[in-house]
């Protein structure tokens, strides 16, 4: 196997590993919600999931800034479509964080 082929195979394995990690974290989060876990436990799981998300974006050639910019665009679109004031407030908070 050539060096380039080895690098490609390694990259694929790393990406697949991140996919599995993200699914596991999401599953663990759902389980924590079901078991009414503490806020600290849920925060830890969400932080791990966010980290895995940014690592996956990086593996796919997407910068953290690019990811945040795209997420902000999606939030702006939802704000235009959202009627319920509760979600609107939360979406505005997310948008403010993404645009910092």
| Residue of 47, 52, 62, 96 lying closest to 76 (CA atoms) | 96
Which range of residues forms the domain containing residue 51? 1-62
Whether residues 13 and 33 share a domain: the answer is yes
Residues 23-50 have pLDDT tens digits of: 999 999 999 999 999 999 999 999 999 9
Report how many domains make up the chain: 2
Whether residues 58 and 75 share a domain: the answer is no
Model confidence pTM above 0.85: no
Range scoring the smallest mean pLDDT among 9-13, 43-47, 56-60: 9-13
Dist CA 12 CA 91 (whole Å): 35
Q: What is the mean pLDDT of residues 2-30?
A: 89
């Amino acid at each position: 196997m050539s060096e380039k082929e080895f690098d490609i195979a390694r990259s694929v394995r790393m990406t697949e590993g991140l996919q599995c990690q993200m699914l596991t974290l999401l599953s663990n989060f759902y389980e924590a919600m079901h078991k009414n876990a503490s806020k600290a436990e849920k925060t830890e799981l969400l932080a791990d999931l966010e980290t895995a998300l940014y690592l996956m974006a990086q593996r796919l050639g997407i910068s953290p800034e690019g990811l945040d910019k795209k997420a902000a665009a999606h939030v702006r679109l939802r704000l235009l479509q959202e009627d319920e004031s509760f979600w609107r407030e939360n979406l505005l908070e997310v948008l403010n964080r993404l645009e910092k």
